Every structure is written in C-alpha cells, then in structure tokens.
C-alpha cells in the first residue's frame, strides 16, 4: 500500500513538473533557400535555466539537425498539453469550441440542427465534432458538413495535445540557443527581362518570386542560394520531425504580399561563398566557387503568401542570328530515319553582363516595348554567351538532301562483320540549301548532326564528334556552319561522310 501511494505521489510530481515546463518561442531568424526547394533554417530561443519546451512545428531533414551550444544538451520528442491562442477556431471546430454550448446546422437538402456541449477532440482528430446533448448522449458530426455555428462566445485560448520538443540542458545555457536544420516549405524562382535597343544594345533586368509555405516569417533574414548542391536525404525526415511540410507546386497560391521590402542595393548584397554567408558566425573557407548567396535582408512574409522582388540589372550588346538545327538522317546503326530538314529560328545571342552566373530562369524578350517571346536559360557564367530563340524564321528557307553513292562507285560499298553483325560500308553525299527572302543580311548558324566519319565538307564548317557516339557502332558527329546570307541569296554546301549500315 505504501509503495502504491509513493508511486502515486511521484506521478503527481511528474505531472506538475510537466505542466510547469515553460514554452519558449523559437522564431526563424534566417532562411537560406536553395533553388531545388531545400531551405537551411536558423531558429533561436532564449530560455531561462532548466528544462523548457519548443512547440513550433519543426520538420528537419535526416541528418541536418544541429544545436548550439550543444554541450550537456538532450532533446526529446514528446506529447504535451499546450495552451495556444484560438486564432483559427473554424479550422478545428472541436478544439476551437471545446467546452462551449453551441448549435450546429448541417448542409443538405433538409438542414439538420444539433445542440450540445462540444467535447475535446480525440487525438487532434479534426474530421468529427462530438456534441454532448442535454440528455447526456454523444453525437459525432462530420466537420465538413457544418455550415452554421451559433454560440455565446469564442474562447481566446485553447488547450490541445501536440507533439513538442522537450529540452533538457544539464549545464546552464549561456546566451541564445541556436537550432539549424534543412527542411522544405519555401522556394523561389528567378526571371529575366531582356530588352533589345537600337544599335545592338540591350538591357537585362532580373526579378525573383518567393513562395512561403513554412510559417510566418517576421523580419527574418532571407538568403537565396544558387548552384547545384547535392542533398542526399532531401526526401527523408529526421526522426525528431514534427508534422510534414513537403512543398508541392499545386499548393502555391498566386497571392503577392503587399508592402514587402525590396533590397536597397542588390549588387552590394550579392555574396559569393568565398566571402562567407552573412551571420554565419564562422569564417568561410574561401574555396567554394560554384555556389552563390543573395542576401535580401530582413523580410516579413506570412505563411502561404508569396512576394515579387526586383534583383540586379545590367547593360550589354546582342546579335541577331537564324539558328538551324538539322537532326541526323541516319541512326547509330546507319539506317535511314524519318528526320526532316529541321526548323529555322530567329534567335538572340548575348553575353551575361553580370559578375556572377545567371541561374536557371525564364527570359522574356522585348523589342523596345513589344513582347517578342519568352525563352529560358539553364546556367550562364559571367561573360559567357547565351542563345535565345524568339520565333520561326519563315522568311529564310533551309533544306537538307542526302543520298548514297552508286554501287558502281569505287569502294562505295564494302561488307564487314562487327560483333557477329553484318554491315555495309557506305559513302553518303549530302547538301544543305539556304534561300533568303529577307530585305536585310542575316547570319545563319546551321548545326547538322550525322552518324559516321566525315570525309569532306564545303564552307569550312567546324566538325566535332559527340560523346553520345563513344559506344555506338558509328561515331556521332556535328557540323556547324556560320553563313552570311544576303537578301534574296541562295547558297548550297555539300558534305560527305562514311557510315556502317547494319542489314
């Protein structure tokens, strides 16, 4: 009997201690968002000595959760009864109106009305609202059928059981406690506006759209990280994760936050890894070159809100060309396929005018004030060229013709056996023909792919063999002509290659 009484007393003290454990806020102070949707989040808490609880829904990725200072610290994932503001009573009716006397009206052809006291939710199950009537009977009502709620008042606070982190420091924490982890829930997309001006001049302006599905950000430092980082466990959550926050594109809402701050000076805020990320607390190594960090400063952005911000701008020069991509007329086995002569496209060539790479983005092209097209880029290094297509070049015609040399030609066809397969060695003669119906000269860049070994080509084109042909029966080559085509002019260029044809 004494043992039973002692156990009961110990349990009471444990419950009292749990009830008295303070909840310490841990707001987000910094978010570094990568362009693949992974975010590095820094939270800070300022606890008093002793145990404390952090009640935010935190979902770290596997192997990314770190605390500082961590000496003598243990963190336990537990369930606790937590009091919180009743900010959204209609999202969780059972929790928002628990203990209140209400009248509910359900939708349907014949509306039904129920009255009673709302019972606390069972393990935070929001699917049903349970009412206890005056006769003491319980009625479970589907929450999605409730269209009207009548009550005397809405409680300012509610008490719910939720999963939290219980911090147990064995030594006194000096200063704030930092929590750093990777997660999902916020992403961004950049865009560029390319404006063509007279005399081959141009301007290039950037912008960014940021969608926040993580939680409310209040004056949090926001950093955009560009590059191609490798996150092995980006789809696996930590065992201490609370809730789920995987970002899906269908969740994005086209809602722009009003009054969001714009960066004062983007060029000064653009950092590379060599200079270190702001507020990192540690010096950078100075040897990471292919990651860039854009510091947008402090931003306030609510959950499920999005914001548009301007980025950098620069000037440069551009060149108009016609781009002609001509596919292979034969496959890797040398057999003819149905590849056409391809399409000719008007295109713009320009060099990246910034001191840093341009990331994967859409590019909208303007000629003065008129929209020409929307294209895209992947990654363009500083000073490197990018080519953007604008429209089909209908006023320039291009055709490709190919035929095998006649049987009687010397060494035109030879039979060989490779890995037990029979091939004919064939010489193929081809020709590309261009006709301009334009009023001004134009440069045509014709890229023709072929299977085999090049024997000759008119016009001194550049020839290169592609890595895709390393393990093929026939090498895979590409010829590139840079052709100045005058108004009304017709030009022809012949070429010849040898190919092994399987039969």
Residue 492 falls inside a structural domain: yes
Beta carbons within 8 Å of 44's beta carbon, 6+ residues apart: 26, 27, 29, 176, 177, 178, 179
CA distance 53 to 45: 10
Residue 347 falls inside a structural domain: no
pLDDT, tens digit, 9 for 90 and up, residues 27-68: 999 999 998 889 999 999 999 999 999 999 999 999 999 999
Q: What is the pLDDT of residue 122?
A: 67
Residue 115 falls inside a structural domain: yes
Residue 112 structural domain: 89-155
Residue 99 falls inside a structural domain: yes
CA distance 367 to 393: 16
CB 166 within 8 A of CB 78: yes
- Look up residue 444 and give its two tokens: 């045509």
Smallest CA-to-CA distance from 228 within 35, 362, 383, 32 is with 35
Q: Give the CATH number, domain containing residue 121.
A: 2.30.30.520
Smallest CA-to-CA distance from 188 within 206, 164, 203, 176 is with 206
Residue 444 falls inside a structural domain: yes
Q: What is the pLDDT of residue 455?
A: 97
- Look up residue 379 and give its two tokens: 């990654």
Domain final position from 155, 178, 203: 155
CA distance 338 to 331: 10
Q: What is the pLDDT of residue 177?
A: 94
The whole model's pTM is what? 0.74
**pLDDT exceeds cutoff 70 at 150:** yes
Domain final position from 110, 136, 155: 155
Of residues 196 and 419, which shows the higher confidence score?
A: 196
Residue 263 falls inside a structural domain: no
- Look up residue 240 and give its two tokens: 């201490």
Q: Give the CATH number, domain containing residue 475.
A: 2.60.40
Instruction: Answer positive or negative: Cα dihedral of 495, 498, 502, 503.
Output: positive
Domain final position from 155, 174, 208: 155
pLDDT-derived band at 19 (thresholds 50, 70, 90) equals: low
Residue 478 falls inside a structural domain: yes
pLDDT-derived band at 409 (thresholds 50, 70, 90) equals: low
CB 366 within 8 A of CB 192: no
Q: What is the pLDDT of residue 124?
A: 61
Residue 79 falls inside a structural domain: no
Q: How many domains does the chain have?
A: 2
């Amino acid at each position: 009997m004494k043992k039973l009484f002692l156990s009961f007393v110990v349990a009471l003290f444990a419950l009292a201690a749990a009830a008295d454990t303070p909840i310490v806020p841990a707001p987000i102070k910094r978010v570094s968002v990568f362009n693949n949707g992974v975010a590095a989040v820094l939270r800070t808490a300022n606890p008093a000595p002793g145990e404390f609880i952090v009640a935010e829904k935190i979902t770290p990725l596997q192997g990314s959760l770190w605390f500082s200072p961590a000496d003598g610290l243990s963190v336990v994932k537990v369930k606790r009864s937590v009091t919180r503001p009743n900010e959204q009573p209609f999202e969780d009716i059972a929790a928002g109106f628990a203990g209140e006397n209400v009248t509910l009206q359900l939708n349907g052809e014949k509306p039904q009305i129920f009255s009673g006291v709302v019972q606390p939710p069972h393990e935070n199950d929001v699917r049903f609202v349970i009412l206890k009537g005056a006769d003491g009977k319980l009625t479970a009502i589907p929450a999605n059928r409730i269209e009207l709620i009548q009550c005397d008042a809405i409680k300012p606070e509610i008490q719910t059981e939720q999963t939290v982190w219980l911090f147990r420091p064995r030594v006194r924490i000096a200063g704030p406690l930092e929590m750093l982890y990777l997660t999902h829930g916020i992403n961004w997309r950049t865009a560029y506006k390319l404006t063509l001006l007279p005399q081959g001049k141009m301007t290039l302006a950037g912008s960014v759209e940021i969608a926040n599905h993580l939680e409310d950000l209040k004056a949090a430092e926001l950093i955009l990280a560009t590059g191609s980082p490798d996150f092995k466990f980006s789809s696996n959550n930590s065992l201490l994760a609370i809730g789920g926050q995987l970002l899906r594109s269908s969740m994005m809402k086209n809602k722009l936050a009003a009054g969001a701050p714009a960066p004062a000076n983007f060029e000064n805020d653009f950092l590379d890894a060599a200079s270190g990320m702001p507020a990192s607390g540690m010096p950078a190594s100075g040897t990471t070159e292919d990651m860039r960090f854009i510091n947008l400063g402090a931003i306030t952005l609510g959950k499920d809100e999005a914001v548009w911000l301007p980025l950098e701008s620069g000037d440069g020069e551009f060149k108009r060309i016609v781009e002609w991509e001509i596919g292979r007329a034969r496959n890797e086995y040398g057999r003819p396929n149905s590849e056409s002569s391809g399409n000719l496209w008007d295109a713009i060539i320009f060099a990246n005018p910034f001191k840093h790479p341009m990331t994967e983005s859409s590019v909208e092209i303007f000629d003065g004030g008129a929209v020409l097209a929307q294209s895209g880029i992947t990654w363009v290094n500083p000073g490197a060229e990018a080519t953007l297509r604008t429209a089909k070049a209908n006023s320039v015609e291009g055709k490709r013709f190919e035929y095998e040399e006649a049987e009687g030609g010397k060494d035109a066809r030879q039979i060989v056996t490779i890995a037990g397969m029979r091939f004919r060695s064939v010489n193929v003669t081809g020709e590309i023909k261009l006709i301009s119906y334009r009023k001004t000269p134009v440069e045509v860049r014709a890229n023709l792919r072929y299977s085999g070994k090049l024997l000759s080509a008119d016009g001194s084109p550049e020839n290169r063999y592609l890595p895709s042909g390393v393990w093929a029966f026939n090498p895979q080559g590409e010829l590139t002509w840079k052709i100045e085509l005058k108004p009304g002019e017709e030009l022809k260029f012949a070429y010849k290659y040898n190919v092994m044809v399987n039969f």
